Structure 1
Amino acid sequence: MGSLAHPELHLLHKKLRNIYEALLNFRPLAGVPPILDSSIDADPNDDGQWLRHENIPGIKKLRESIKFDIDILDKFLSDPASEHEQPISTHAPYLVSVYHEILAAPPPIVSVFKFLQLNPCEGADRRNQKGARRPPSTKVDVVAENGRRWIRINTIKNAGILAELRENDSYLTDSDSDSDPDDPDYRPSIAPTELSILQMGRTLIEAANANPIEGVDGPEIPRVTIRLTRLDTSPFRANGEPNDPRIAHAVQCLRDLGIDVELGERPESEIPLPLQPPAPTPTIQLQPTRQINLDLSVLVALVSDLTHSPLPASVEEATARFLPPQQYREWKPLDRIAADGSEAVDGANAQDIARHSRALTTHILQEMGKGLLQEIKDKLSIFSNSDSGPVEFWTSEEARERCMRIVSRIGGVREVKRAEALFPSDPISDAEAEAQFWRDSRYPRNFIPLLPIRIYPAPPLPPVKGAPEPHSQFFRSMTKVCRDLLATEAAQAQMATPPTSNGSSSRKRNEDGDGEAHQASSKINSRLSPHAVKSLLRGAELGWTTLTTTKSSVKALLREIKTARLAGRLVEDVEADENAQAANSTAAAIWIVDPRNLQCFI
C-alpha cells in the first residue's frame, strides 16, 4: 500500500486497524463475580478464567465486520491500478460509529448488533412450529445502560433522503382528478412510501414497547436513540443552497415518536481513549463471611469417612483402598472377563462400582493434597481474633433432612454417627456432640468450630445481624435469579402434576417414597436442582457465603444470571452500587470446595 492516492481511505484503513486491535482487548465493565474457588481442579495458571464474564454478545461479530472491511481496503490500496480508480465504498463509517457508541454510551453495555422481535410471544409460537418463518424483528446496534438504552446508527446522507422524497413526489400526480374510477383503463396511483428513517424509528419504538425490561418500579420501556451521522438538517447546505425543509421535518417526526435523535458523528471530546490491554492489577483476596451457609453437598462431605480417615501413604494404596471387597465381588454374578484379564461384574453393576471406586480414589487423592477441613480452617482463620464474633455455620431444614436421609440409607457406621452428632434427634450436650463427631477422625476434637450447626427458618427470612447491608450487586442479582428459577420450577411442576381423584397431587400421595424421587429428579435445568437453588437463594438473601462442592451448579447459576442480564430482568445500577461493592469487595458470595462422597459400595 505504497500508493499516495486515496488518502482518506488510507486514514480509514488505519482507524479500522486500531479499532480492531482495541476490540481484541475489550472486556465488559462488570468484574469477576465474588466466587471463591478452593477446588483442587482450579487451574492456578488461568487466574479463574471460568469466573470471568464472557465478552459482550456481538463484539465478535463487530470485529469480524471490521476485519472484512480491512481486507477489502488492503486489496484495493495494494493494487497499483487503484490510483486511477474511484475510491471504493465500505461500511467503515458505520462500524466506526458503532465502536464510538460502545465506548461512550452509558454503561454497562449489554450487547451489540442485537435483533429484537416486534412480538416476542409470536416468536415463541413460531419457534414451536416446524418450518415457520422468523418473526419480524429490528436491529439495535448497541444495547447500553443495562438494557435501558437502545442505540441505532444510520449513515444516510441528505442525498439519500432527497432521492426518497423525489420518488414519493413522482407518485403524487393529479392523475386521480382526471381519471374516472369507472373507466376500465383506470389504475390507482401507487401510494408514496414513508421515509426509511421514519420506518426505522417506528419499528424501533414498536420493538421497545414489546420488550420492556424490569425496572425498580415495574416494567420499563427502553429509551431509543438514533444517531444520524451524515444528515444535515440546517436551513442551508455548505454550498449556500437551501435544504429541503422536509428533511428537518422528518427528524422532528422521529423526536415526536419519543426517539432521542443525535445528529452528526459523536464529538471527539465525548469518546474515551481507545481501549488498552488491561494492566496487571492485584487480585482481590476474597474472604468468607462470618456466617457460612452450608448446602447439602457440604453436609455430606463433612460426615464422609474420606474427610476423616487416615490418609494412604501412596497413590497405589489409595487406589487399592477402594476396590470392592473380594467377598462382594464373589457374591455378584460374573459372566465376562475384563480387558486386563480379571473377572468383572456384569452389566450396569460393574460400571457403577467402577465409577464409584474412581470417585472415591479421586476424593482421597484430593484429601492427600489438602484436606477439606484444613481448607475450611485456613480460610476461616481471619475470624480467630476478630471482634465480630465467632464463625457460625447455618443450613436449611430441607438440607438437614436430605442429609440425614442419604446418610441413613447409604452411609457407613461412622458416617451415620457423625451425622447424628451434627443433627441429634434426641437432646444432647454440645460437648457430647463434639466428642461423637470427632471420634475416629484423624483431626483433633473441635479442629474447626463446626458445632452447633444452626437451622435458619423458612422464608420469608427476618433481618439477620451481621449481614452486609446493603448487599452487593452480585448478591442482589443472585437473589433475583434464584427466585425466578424457583417460581418457574413451581409453575412447571404444578402443570405437570395431575390431581388425583380426591384432589390431592400424586406427589403428595407419594411423598414418603416415589414423590421424593420425582422431586429430586425435577431439574430447573440440567445442572441446577431446586434444593440447590434454594440453598444458594438463602445465602444470597442473607448476604452470607454459601459453601458448596457442586461447581457445576455454580457455573449453571452464572449462566442464568448472564441470561437474565441480557434479557433485562436484572435491575443493576453500576454507579449506585459502587459504595456497596467497595464496602463488601472481599466478601465471597459462593465458596467452592472439593466434594467428598460417602464411602460405600452398595
Structure 2
Amino acid sequence: MAPPPHHELHLLHKNLQNIYDALLNFKPLAGVPPILDSSIDADPNDDGQWLRHENIPGLKKLRESIKFDIDILEKACRGLSFLSDAASEHEPPISTHAPYLVSVYHEILAAPPPIVSVFKFLQLNPSEGGDRRHQKGTRRPPSTKVDVVADNGRRWIRINTIKNAGILAELREIDSYLTDSDSESDSDDPDYRPSLAQTEFDNSILQMGRVLLEAANANPIAGVDGPEIPRVTLRLTRLDVSPFRANGEANDPRIAHTVQCLRDMGIDVELGERLETEVLPPIPRAPVAPPIPLQPTRQINLDLSVLVALVSDLTHSSLPSSVEEATARFLPPRRYREWVKPDRQGGDGPETMGVVSQDIVKHSRSLTMHLLQEMGRGLLQEISDKISELPGPVEFWTSDEARDRCLRIVSRIGGEGEVRRAEALFPPDTVSAADAAALFWQDSRYPPNFIPLLPIRIYPVPPLPPVEGAPEPHALFFRSMTQVCRDFLAQDAAAQAHASNGRSQQPRSEGHSAVDGDLPQAVNTTKVNSRLSPHAVKSMMRGAELGWTTLTTTKSSVKALLREIKAARLAGRLVEDVEQASDSPNPHDTAAAIWIVDPRNLQCFV
C-alpha cells in the first residue's frame, strides 16, 4: 500500500504531539532531601512535600512553540487535505520550526544532566546589562541564545539547522563580493566604492560560534576551584561536511573548513541529529519497596527556636478542654486593655498605642494557635515517640551561642516558670543534675524525665570532629548542606564588616544604650534569601558537619536553606555531588538531617 501524500508530515505531526505530551509531565531528577517534618500542617500522604521541583526555566516556552507548530500542521492539513487528498502531493512543503524544536527536545533528554534552563539568553556584558536594567528607554544589551544549558551550567548547547544550500548561498554571495572587488578600479578613480569583500574567511556559523564563546567568557560559573568557563557545543543537525554529496557531486570544501574553524576556536561541534539510542525515554524502573521512614540520629542538635519551645509554658501547662477556653486563656489582662484605651493621655500618641494594641492581639492569636497545636500533638510527646524508636540512648546538644541567646531572651520576656526551666536546662556547676531536672519538670503536666532531655551538652571550642567510624546515611546531603552553610556565613561576615565600616564613619546616636545591644538583630546578609539568620545557619551547619539531626521549629528557614542548596547545585558550587544527586535515594538511609516540629512561643504580653 502506497504511503499517503506528504507522509513526512504525518510522521512530523505525530512526533510533535508525542513530544508535547511527554513535556507536560517532564520533571528533572533529584534526590529527596532527608527532612523529617513533624509539624501539624505536614501532609502524611504527600511523599514529595520536600520535592516539589520548579520546572526547568524555558521548558514552558518550548511546549508552547511545539503546540504552535502542531496547530499550524493541523490547520494546513485541513486546508490542503494533506491527510487524504492525493492531489495535495504536488503542493509545496509547509515551512515549520519542527526540526529545530525536536532537536532541542532530544538535547534535553541526552545532554549531561542536570538541565539548568532552555532557551536562555546570555548577555555578552552582564555588568552593562545590570546597569541598564532599570533605565527606561535604553536599548537592551547584546546577548546570545543558548538552546540548552546542561551539566549544572557547565555545558552550553546551541542547535543550528542550516543546510548545505544555506551555506552555499552565503558562499556565493561572498564570491560575488570578491568578483566585484577584483573588477573595481583603484582608489584614484572618482567612482571608487569600498569593497564588501571579506579580508578573512567568515560566515554566519562562525559568527554564531564567536558570539557564543564571548558570552561564555563573560558568564563564568562558580566552580570548586574558582570561576569556570562553560563549554560550548554547536550541533549542526543538517550540515553535510563529507567531500562528496549523495549524488556523487563534490562538496564545497569551505563547508568542512567552517567546521574545522569552529573546532579550532575551542567549540565542540556535533554533526547530525542525535541517534535514537541516545534519545529514547528512560526505561521505567521496576517497583521498589518504599524507603524506610526517616528517624533522628541518637545525637540531636537543638537550635535556639527549640530551646525556647522546650521552656515555654505552652509546652508544659495543663490543656484547655475546648477551643473557647484556649482562646479566653490569652486575652490581654484587663489592666492592659484599660491602659491602651484611645482616650489615654500621656507621652505616646494614639497612633503608637494602636500599633502596640495590634501587636498584642497578634501575639494573643499566635499563643492560641500554638496551644491548639499542643492540644492536637504535644511537642514533648512528639519527641518522645520519635526517640523511643532509636536503638540506644539519646544525647541532646546545642551551641554556647544558642544557650546564651535563649537565657537572654527568656530573662527579658519569659514568665516565672519559663525562666526557671531555662535556668534548669543550663544549670551552674553548683546545682546537681537531679535538682536541675526537678526544677525543669516542676508544675509540668508531664511526669519527671518524660524525655531524657538533661543534661544538654554544649559543643566545645574547638568543635567536635565527626564521629569516627559512624555510618554515613545521606552523606551527600549533609556535605551539600555543610558547604552551603559555610558559604552563607562567609558572606555574612563580609557583609557585617562592610556595614561596620559604614557605621564607623557615621556619628553615634545619642539614644543608644547598652541594653539596646543585648539582643542584636540578625543582619540579612544575602539579597537572595532574607529568611536565613546567621545563628540559625550556624546551628544547621554544626549538625550537618557531624552528621547529626538538627531539631528546629523554623520551617521557613529550612525551606530557605533548601532553596540555597538547589541554587548552589545549579550554579556548579557542589560539583562533586552532581552525579550522585540525580540518583534515587538509598532506601536504607534513614537518618534525618533536619527534624521540624511546631513552634511554641513564650507566654508573655509585653
Common fold by TM > 0.5: yes
Q: In the alignment, which residue of structure 2 is the partner of 1:447?
A: 450
Q: In the alignment, which residue of structure 2 is the partner of 1:533?
A: 537
Q: 2:287 and 2:65 mapped to 1: Cα distance?
A: 27
Could you tell me the percent identity over the aligned residues?
A: 76
1:542-599 deviations in whole A, cap 9, x for unaligned? Answer: 2222111111111222222222233333324344569996397322221111110001
Deviation of 1:284 after TM superposition, in Å, equals 4.8
Q: In the alignment, which residue of structure 1 is the partner of 2:100?
A: 94
Q: In the alignment, which residue of structure 2 is the partner of 1:105?
A: 111
Q: 1:553 and 1:224 mapped to 2: Cα distance?
A: 37
1:62 alignment partner AA: L
2:252 alignment partner AA: D
Pair 1:56–1:366, CA change in 2 (3 A): same
Q: In the alignment, which residue of structure 1 is the partner of 2:436?
A: 433
Pair 1:390–1:119, CA change in 2 (3 A): farther
Q: In the alignment, which residue of structure 1 is the partner of 2:348?
A: none
* 2:18 is the counterpart of 1:18: yes
Q: Which moved more, 1:515-524 or 1:31-40?
A: 515-524
Q: Which moved more, 1:191-200 or 1:28-37?
A: 191-200
Q: In the alignment, which residue of structure 2 is the partner of 1:405?
A: 408
Which of 364, 377, 381 lines up with 2:371 in the alignment? 364
Q: In the alignment, which residue of structure 1 is the partner of 2:158?
A: 152
* 2:271 is the counterpart of 1:251: no
Pair 1:440–1:330, CA change in 2 (3 A): same
* 2:429 is the counterpart of 1:422: no
Q: 1:584 and 1:207 mapped to 2: Cα distance?
A: 44
* 2:35 is the counterpart of 1:35: yes
Conserved? CA contact 1:22–1:275, under 8 Å: no
1:32-89 deviations in whole A, cap 9, x for unaligned? Answer: 2221111111234543435422222222222122112112212111224555332212
2:17 alignment partner AA: R
Conserved? CA contact 1:475–1:589, under 8 Å: yes
Q: 1:518 and 1:41 mapped to 2: Cα distance?
A: 31
Q: 2:525 and 2:286 mapped to 1: Cα distance?
A: 39
Q: In the alignment, which residue of structure 2 is the partner of 1:55?
A: 55
Conserved? CA contact 1:305–1:598, under 8 Å: yes
Q: In the alignment, which residue of structure 1 is the partner of 2:123?
A: 117
Which of 206, 231, 242 lines up with 1:234 in the alignment? 242
Deviation of 1:281 after TM superposition, in Å, equals 6.8
Conserved? CA contact 1:304–1:598, under 8 Å: yes
1:161 alignment partner AA: I
Q: In the alignment, which residue of structure 2 is the partner of 1:341?
A: none
SS in 2 for 1:375: helix
Pair 1:101–1:460, CA change in 2 (3 A): farther
Pair 1:134–1:465, CA change in 2 (3 A): farther
Conserved? CA contact 2:162–2:236, under 8 Å: yes
Q: In the alignment, which residue of structure 2 is the partner of 1:223?
A: 231
Note the 1:196-211 alignment, pairs <5 A: 196-211=204-219
* 2:287 is the counterpart of 1:285: no
Which of 309, 313, 316 lines up with 2:317 in the alignment? 309
Q: 1:412 and 1:390 mapped to 2: Cα distance?
A: 32
Q: In the alignment, which residue of structure 2 is the partner of 1:597?
A: 601
SS in 2 for 1:573: helix
Q: 1:363 and 1:558 mapped to 2: Cα distance?
A: 25
SS in 1 for 2:251: coil
Q: Which moved more, 1:18-27 or 1:185-194?
A: 185-194
Pair 1:174–1:461, CA change in 2 (3 A): farther
Q: In the alignment, which residue of structure 1 is the partner of 2:547?
A: 543
Conserved? CA contact 2:32–2:51, under 8 Å: yes
Conserved? CA contact 1:473–1:581, under 8 Å: no
* 2:578 is the counterpart of 1:570: no
Deviation of 1:250 after TM superposition, in Å, equals 0.6
Pair 1:581–1:48, CA change in 2 (3 A): closer
1:138 alignment partner AA: T
* 2:358 is the counterpart of 1:354: no
SS in 1 for 2:32: coil
Q: 1:505 and 1:571 mapped to 2: Cα distance?
A: 46
TM-score (norm 1): 0.89
Q: In the alignment, which residue of structure 1 is the partner of 2:385?
A: 378
Conserved? CA contact 1:225–1:260, under 8 Å: yes
Conserved? CA contact 1:171–1:189, under 8 Å: yes
Pair 1:23–1:353, CA change in 2 (3 A): same
Deviation of 1:132 after TM superposition, in Å, equals 4.2
Conserved? CA contact 1:287–1:379, under 8 Å: yes
Which of 311, 320, 326 lines up with 1:318 in the alignment? 326
Q: Which moved more, 1:359-368 or 1:394-403?
A: 394-403
Deviation of 1:194 after TM superposition, in Å, equals 2.6
Deviation of 1:329 after TM superposition, in Å, equals 2.0
Q: 1:129 and 1:467 mapped to 2: Cα distance?
A: 56
2:362 alignment partner AA: R
Q: 2:20 and 2:339 mapped to 1: Cα distance?
A: 67
Q: 2:213 and 2:233 mapped to 1: Cα distance?
A: 10
Q: 2:154 and 2:507 mapped to 1: Cα distance?
A: 43
SS in 2 for 1:394: strand
Deviation of 1:376 after TM superposition, in Å, equals 1.2
1:314-335 deviations in whole A, cap 9, x for unaligned? Answer: 1111111111222332343345
Deviation of 1:309 after TM superposition, in Å, equals 0.8
Q: Which moved more, 1:306-315 or 1:518-527?
A: 518-527
Conserved? CA contact 1:319–1:361, under 8 Å: yes
SS in 2 for 1:333: coil
Q: 1:135 and 1:451 mapped to 2: Cα distance?
A: 62
Q: 1:91 and 1:458 mapped to 2: Cα distance?
A: 64
Deviation of 1:519 after TM superposition, in Å, equals 3.7
Q: 1:92 and 1:579 mapped to 2: Cα distance?
A: 32
Conserved? CA contact 1:22–1:276, under 8 Å: no
* 2:145 is the counterpart of 1:139: yes
Q: In the alignment, which residue of structure 2 is the partner of 1:339?
A: none
Note the 1:466-485 alignment, pairs <5 A: 468-469=471-472, 472-485=475-488
SS in 2 for 1:261: strand
Conserved? CA contact 2:31–2:581, under 8 Å: no
Deviation of 1:355 after TM superposition, in Å, equals 0.7
Q: 2:124 and 2:379 mapped to 1: Cα distance?
A: 52
2:196 alignment partner AA: I
SS in 1 for 2:575: coil
* 2:74 is the counterpart of 1:74: yes
How many pairs were matched up? 587
Deviation of 1:183 after TM superposition, in Å, equals 3.4
Q: In the alignment, which residue of structure 2 is the partner of 1:520?
A: 522
Q: 1:14 and 1:153 mapped to 2: Cα distance?
A: 22
Conserved? CA contact 2:292–2:587, under 8 Å: no
2:237 alignment partner AA: T
Pair 1:33–1:80, CA change in 2 (3 A): same
Deviation of 1:276 after TM superposition, in Å, equals 6.9
Deviation of 1:412 after TM superposition, in Å, equals 0.5
Conserved? CA contact 1:223–1:259, under 8 Å: yes
Q: 2:513 and 2:189 mapped to 1: Cα distance?
A: 80
Deviation of 1:511 after TM superposition, in Å, equals 9.1
1:425-482 deviations in whole A, cap 9, x for unaligned? Answer: 4532222221111111111111111111122246776334476548622222222222
Q: 2:464 and 2:135 mapped to 1: Cα distance?
A: 44
Q: Which moved more, 1:272-281 or 1:102-111?
A: 272-281
Deviation of 1:527 after TM superposition, in Å, equals 1.4
